[in-house]
Amino acid sequence: MADFDDPSEVLGLHASLEQDPPDGVLELVPAARTLLIRFDPGRTHHDRLAEDVLHRAGVDTKPREAAEIVVPVRYDGPDLADVAAASGMSAEAVVRRHEDGTYVSAFCGFAPGFAYLTGLDPALHLPRRTSPRTRVPAGSVAIAGEYTAVYPNSSPGGWQLIGRTTLPVWDVEREPPNLLAPGTRIRFTS
């Protein structure tokens, strides 16, 4: 497990290890500020792998270049007015700021295909709802803390819902099923 202060460092190391994996690496699992590196101890040793990771962590690694996914959004979420009031701006300004963001999928968690997207305008960094919903519809576009996301399936959730999309971000019939895998660049548009 490699720990970092900045999510971009996780993405950089993840990209470096994906592009040039050390012998024996089986799986990479990025999170907010960590990268889990699962390896085969029959092919490499923890100390050797740790040395490689430390060497790469000191190098300016950039996330892999990926195609940009454009997510069309109808900005009519049930929390849009509350987000506008809490941020001290109009609903139109919230939408404009959300659309102007340059987002990168940092990691996935909570549910299959639920990507935590970095790049949210700091003016929109708001806490989760005080009372979570028992059901958030699939395709809901939401914000919480420093992240924005698209709910891949209907599920409980406590994020602020600002809009919705019909773009399926998780589809088990598609290869790969996750449209917003870590390192993917995303842009939202009305």
Q: pLDDT tens for residues 59-111? A: 555 555 567 899 999 999 999 999 999 999 999 999 999 999 989 998 888 88
Q: What is the CATH number of domain 68-189?
A: 2.40.100.10
- According to CATH, where is 3.30.1360.40 located in the chain? 2-57
C-alpha–C-alpha distance, residues 116 and 100, integer Å: 17
Q: Assign domain 2-57 one CATH number from 3.30.1360.40, 3.40.605.10, 3.50.50.60, 3.40.980.10.
A: 3.30.1360.40
Q: What is the mean pLDDT of residues 35-39?
A: 88
- According to CATH, where is 2.40.100.10 located in the chain? 68-189
